Amino acid sequence: MKKDWSLYLKDTANTLRYHAAIRQYIASDLARLVGRLDGEDDRVVIPPEADYRIRYKTIPIRLFDDEGKSGSSFRPMDDIGDGDNRLTYGESVGVEDIADLLLRQLELPELHHRRAAAVPMRDMAFSAVRPAGILPLLDKRQTLLAAIRRRAQSPQSSPHIRKEDLRFHALTEDTSNTHALLVAVMDVSASMQAFERRIARIFFYWTRRFLNLKYPDVEIHYVVHHTQAFEVNEPEFFTVEDDGGTVLSQAYRKVQDILAHFGGADTNVYVLHFTDGDNRPTDREGAKSAAWEVGARAHLFGYVEIGQNPEPSPMLEWLGKAGPPFRAAAVHAATDLYPALRHVFSRRGRAAKAGS
Amino acid sequence: MNADRLWDAAITLGFHPYPVSVERVPGRVLWAMGAEQLPFRFAHWIFGRDQAQMDRDERPRFFVLYHDPVRLLLDQDATPLEEAWWLARTIGHSDFFRSNRLMDHSFVDPLRIRRAHAAQIREWETELGQERVSTWIRHAWSIRDYPELLEIIARAGAQLDNWERSLLELLAAEIRQQRPFAHTRLVNEGWSAYCRRIVSREISGSNGLEVARREALAAARRTASSLGAHMFSEIHRKQGFEHARKVLAVSDDPAFAQQHLSDDLLHTWYSAKAGTEQAARAHIVHQLATLGLPRLETEVEKNGELAIVHLVEDRELEPAELKMTLTSLHTLYRRPIRFTTVIDGQRVTLRFEGGRLVQTRYH
């Protein structure tokens, strides 16, 4: 009798369980991973909690090079293993695994805004008519009209409804011409050092991934600024290096230009600004009023400020209290990115301030 | 070398194996078995991790199940030569299993028991949730080297649910069942490699050159099987085959090494210098006897507190892992635990109570 070994395939089950365990670790370590992912180290090492036992610190000699891997009844005792007795099990965790967990938690606020037409969604509806279909979808009115039309054209033809008169409802994709617009604004002034820029780019990287996944119809415009603001394309945005001081009002004016040009009355507008908040002092009031004007047009104005300074800038402080559509978050370290993302991309805005 | 003639050759040469059945198996089955160490075991993510580790190193190509008949599970893609190569070894394993006094011959099928265990654990998982059962197994896994301990906890642990108690007992039973094999690894592997060596010498066929090449490679590796085969070959040469069979019948690893690890082998294998053979041998025997595990003495006190003393030789324990293990142990036991050892040259007692380390006392 030949045994059916396909009943004994356990490798997949083991692997799935292992991956589920890894996902738990990723979930518990998400803040660190989100802020770290830019290709330098995408491995999450399963912490030693997963594999510990009572063992010696050092093992002086090795009795055998291990062998049992090629089968036999059991594996070599790893105690007689190598001198460094600590086995670290590292498992590569790619962007996708993290994206999967992170992006599921984010959403755009106010999607069901009172202006119903503003939702940039694809919808299906029985809005078309065609001459073939199933009887339950018969469009009686159009069928009757078709029969009348035929009779009008050739009066000698049958007065009854004929097969060629039948008209049916047809399912069509309803693509509304309303849309949503996101303006990503990044500070590239001299005060944004390598670290700050890296964090800013990771922030926008996740933003883009998130939008691509959940709201692929959102149109993204990229703006970089120092004392002046420029609209750039996506590759430029993620690579540009620049210099100079900071004038926030310039950036907001640029955003207004873009909104005036691309945004209709029923456009959902989202603005995200990533800066170190190191604004020119003379621009303080100007920036406020410019931000206020942008905010009046936007459904979401996310302001993320990065800096080693524990004191928030006047702008952050003011926006933090400004209420909807403003959402402000402070980022001091890479691990603050995750709460900042959750704060900005939540339906209602998460309680209190993200970061710190 | 060809599989059909192997068996006759082995019997003629004086081996007394149980019959060996060869089964062709998908490689994936062997892969999972290798990670689980014991075939048909319960499911746990730890095995998935070990699978991943094996995938990086090398996947197993065959697996031997000790029973009557001994079953050789062979990768279904194995070539005829590979089949003969592993069959020759399995005949040696089978002979060992039949002859060695440490082996359990009660013929309770360990596979059947493990399947029952797995089914039981699956049932618990359905009933209580995979997460809960899996966590309990993970804690128990940290003291898998000490089936005594597991049994003590099952017996004296506080407020254990029935399933928790049973799981510990079940795990301890699996480990106990495997222990004799761990204590006879050198003998077992050595005898099987030796069997293959002399059998394959006997029936060199058209692929004799390839067999000789493989033999030479295997003999040159510093593995348990290679060392054991060297030792048996020496006994055979000096005292005859029947004496080698006697050694096979009565030895476990420490005894085998104590009596038959010659000075020559110590020199070539462990580069022992003249005059230090005694110490080197003693060290190896000790390591084989303890399986390289720290020795612990445990006692349950009248108030239910578990006192464990590490019988310190000259080596200290890995402190971070020790603390994690003890935390797990405490989670399992749910009563206070005391552990005495030496950390950084100082004798110290760690006390766990209420779910955490509460006291570190230096003596």
pLDDT of residue B23 exceeding 50, the answer is yes
CB contact under 8 A, B63 and A71: yes
Instruction: For residue B144, list chain A residues with Cβ-Cβ distance below 8 A.
Output: 53
Residues of B in contact with A11 (CB under 8 A): 28-29, 31-32, 51
Per-residue pLDDT of A296-332, as tens digits, reads 888 888 888 887 777 777 778 777 777 778 888 888 8
Closest CA–CA distance from residue A20 to any residue of chain B (Å): 8
Per-residue pLDDT of chain A (356 residues; tens, 9 = 90+): 467 777 778 888 888 888 888 777 777 777 777 776 554 555 666 555 567 888 887 755 567 765 333 322 333 333 333 333 344 555 666 667 777 777 777 777 655 443 444 444 555 667 788 888 888 889 999 999 999 988 888 888 888 888 888 999 887 765 554 567 888 988 888 878 788 888 888 888 888 888 877 777 788 889 888 888 888 888 888 888 777 777 888 888 888 888 888 776 677 888 888 888 777 778 778 888 888 888 888 888 888 888 777 777 777 877 777 777 888 888 888 888 888 888 888 776 554 343 33
The answer to whether A70 contacts B63, with C-beta atoms less than 8 Å apart, is: no
CA A121 to chain centre: 17
Query: Which among A5, A79, A91 has CB closest to B25?
Result: A5
Poorest-pLDDT segment among A177-181, B101-105, B155-159, B298-302: A177-181
Question: B35 touching A, CB under 8 A?
Answer: yes
Q: Which 8-state DSSP code applies to residue A153? A: H
**pLDDT tens, B134-153?**
889 989 998 988 998 899 99
- CA–CA distance, B88 with B86 (Å, rounded to integer): 5
- pLDDT for B336 equals 92
pLDDT at B179 over 50: yes
B contacts of A17 (beta carbons < 8 Å): 43-45, 47-48, 134
Residues of chain A contacting residue B177, judged by C-beta atoms under 8 Å apart = none
A92, containing H or E segment: strand A90-92
Q: B182 to chain A nearest CA, in Å?
A: 8
Closest residue to B221, CB basis, from A20, A60, A65: A65
Q: B298 to chain A: which residues are within 8 Å by CB?
A: none
Which chain A residues have a beta carbon less than 8 Å from that of B49? 18, 21, 46, 50-51, 89, 91
Of the candidates B66, B294, B321, which has its C-beta nearest A52's C-beta? B321
Q: What is the pLDDT of residues B283-333, one digit of tens each?
A: 889 888 988 888 899 999 988 899 999 987 778 888 888 888 999 999 999
Q: What SS3 state is found at B181?
A: helix
**Res A93: pLDDT:** 66
Nearest CA in chain B to A48: B321
Chain B hits for A65, CB-CB cut-off 8 Å, are 221-223
The token duo for A257 is 């230009």
Residue B128's pLDDT is 92
Q: Which residues of B touch A5 (CB under 8 A)?
A: 25-26, 29
CB–CB of B49 and A50 under 8 A? yes
Per DSSP, what are the bridge partners of residue A272? A184, A302
Q: What is the pLDDT of residues B214-237, one digit of tens each?
A: 888 888 888 888 899 999 999 999
Compute φ and ψ for A259, nearest 5 degrees: -65, -40
User: Judged by CB atoms within 8 Å, which residues 177-196 of B form the interface with A?
Assistant: 178, 181-182, 185, 188-189
The alpha-carbon gap from B238 to the nearest alpha carbon of chain A, in Å, equals: 25
> Which one of A3, A69, A72 would you mutate to disrupt binding with B, by most B Cβ within 10 Å of its Cβ?
A72
Min distance A49 CA to chain B CA atoms (Å): 7
Strand partners, B362: B348
- Quick one: pLDDT at residue A124? 65
Contacts of B48 in chain A (CB under 8 A): 14-19, 21
Tell me if A262 sits within 8 A of A221, measured CB to CB. yes
Cα–Cα distance, B41 to A197 (Å, whole number): 51
Which of the residues B311, B318, B328, B329 would you substitute to probe the A interface, choosing the one with the greatest number of A C-beta atoms within 10 Å? B318
Return the sign of the alpha-carbon dihedral for residues A214, A215, A220, A226: negative
Count the Cβ atoms, other than its own, within 10 Å of residue B104: 13
pLDDT band for position B257 (50/70/90)?
very high
Residue B182 has pLDDT above 80, yes or no: yes
What 8-state DSSP symbol labels residue B271? -
The rounded distance, in Å, linking the Cα atoms of B347 and B282 is 26
Nearest neighbour of B325 by CB, restricted to A53, A60, A66: A53
Cβ contact B171:B188 at 8 Å: no
- B78 secondary structure, DSSP code: -
Residue B45 touches chain A, beta carbons under 8 Å: yes
Cβ contacts from A onto B, under 8 A = 178
- CB contact under 8 Å between B321 and A79, yes or no, is no
Please judge whether A73 and B66 are an interchain contact, meaning their C-beta atoms are less than 8 angstroms apart: yes
**Whole-model pTM over 0.90:** no
pLDDT higher than 80, residue B94? yes
Amino acid at B90: T
Which tokens sit at A209?
């991934």
Q: Rounded to whole angstroms, how far apart are CA atoms B330 and B306?
A: 9
pLDDT given at position B300: 92
Q: Would the pLDDT of B27 be above 60?
A: yes
| Chain A contact for B286 (CB, 8 A cutoff) | no
**CA A190 centroid distance within chain:** 28
Query: Is the Cβ pair A20, B45 closer than 8 Å?
Result: yes
Contacts of A19 in chain B (CB under 8 A): 48
Residue in chain B lying closest to A63 (CA)? B284
Are A254 and A230 a contacting pair, CB within 8 Å?
yes
Q: Which residues of B touch A1 (CB under 8 A)?
A: none
CB of A157 closer than 8 Å to CB of A150: yes
**pLDDT the model gives residue B107:** 65
Which range, of A345-349, B92-96, B154-158, averages the lowest pLDDT? A345-349
Q: Do the Cβ atoms of B85 and B79 come closer than 8 Å?
A: no
Q: Is residue B5 within 8 Å of B87, Cβ to Cβ?
A: no
Q: In 3D, which of B25, B197, B21, B36 has the Cα closest to residue B94?
A: B21
Contacts of A59 in chain B (CB under 8 A): 292
CB B54 within 8 A of CB B32: no
